[in-house]
Structures are given as C-alpha cells and as structure tokens.
Amino acid sequence: MQYLKERKLVLDMAQKIYREKMVPGTWGNVSLRVKDQPLLLITPSGMPYETMTIEDIVLLDLDGEVTEGERVPSIEKNLHARIYKERNDVDAIVHVHTLYASAFAVAGKSIPVILEETAQLIGHDVQVAAYAPCGTDQLAQLTAQTLGEGNAVLLANHGLVGVGTDLNRALMVCQVAEKTAQVCLLAQSLGQVNELCPEDISLLRKQFAVYGQNQGK
C-alpha cells in the first residue's frame, strides 16, 4: 500500500473533526493531495470515523477514479478532485457540517469578515455555492466556481468547505469560519454587526503572512 504517512494524516484529521463534533455520524469528508503526483487521498463513504483505519483511505486520480483501495470513496470525491484540478495552491480539503456555518448555508447568506482572525486566515466573505444535490458534478462545479481563489465556501443547505496548503490549515479555516458565523449571529441579536473594511482586511492579511515565527522569512 502506497503513501502510508499521508493516509495517516487524512485518517487523523477525519477522526479529529468527528471528536470535535464538526460532523455528525459519517457525514463530512477529508482529502489530501499527493505531493508531485496527480493523485489525492480521501476518506471512504459512510464509514464510522471511530473505527476507520488507514487501509480505508482511498487513493484517487484527479478525475475522481479509484487507483488504489478497497473502499468506496466519499460521495464528494468529484468536488475534491475539481478543486485540486483548478487550484494548484490547494493541497488539503476539509468538509464539515458545523452548526452555525450550516445556518448561514441554509439561509443563503455569506459569512462576513467581522473578526480579525477571519480577515487574517480567510480574507473574504465566505460565500454560498448555489444548491445542487450532494455527490453531483453540478455541486463540484458550483463549489469550485464559488470558492474561486478563496479559502472557504458554504454549500447551500449542506455545510462548509475549507481549503489550505495542509490539513491543519484547512481545518483552521473551518474553525474560524464557524466561530465567525456564531459571533455574527450573536452580534445580530445585540442589534449590530460591524464588518471590517477592505483596507483593514488587506492589512491584516499582510501582517498575518509574517506573523509569529514567519517574521523575516
């Protein structure tokens, strides 16, 4: 079996989003691009996260076809493959069904940039891809189109997708988007939501690029 280290990364992240209650049951999915190869590793369809093993992680090509593995891959395999084909800068994808982000997805409302960490890590409103049934080519196309060059996208009546250069980054995108959605709804209950302006968002993004141990690099 190939790519054991990478399979373990996918498995660990899948079990993490389950432990953190970012997905109910067997919903949600995680994938990782195989470095320097037109391949990706993805979680299987409909298997309990707590009993999943590295042998259950499926290897696909960028057309969504299985190249190694005994399991049926996630129903959203085409969505993941489409993003990787269109975004050379994306190496990891995490798809979750968190409560507050899902509320925005159901309402058809973008999650606005209201927190500094939203500006720093995501850098844009998290827009909603128009509805299409799960697992369809139409959903894959609409998701990639709405995501564009961004880091997060909502799927109408469905959930949230975060992307990044690695799985931890993609997860953090999802965590920040979910927190932002929650804070936005709480602020609305207080009567006012103050969004950050484009100039401040740009400044915060630039500062974050050299934040912490990245200074001077």
What are the residue numbers of the active site?
A: 76
Q: Name the residue among 153, 20, 13, 28 with its Cα closest to residue 86.
A: 153
The span from the CA of 198 to the CA of 107, in Å, is 24
DSSP string, 20-87: TTSS-TT--EEEEEPTTSSEEEEPBSS--GGG--GGG-EEEETTS-EEE-SSPBPTTHHHHHHHHHH-
**In contact, 95 and 160? CB cutoff 8 Å:** yes
Q: Name the residue among 166, 175, 170 with its Cα closest to residue 118.
A: 175
- Alpha carbon distance, N-terminus to C-terminus of the chain: 37
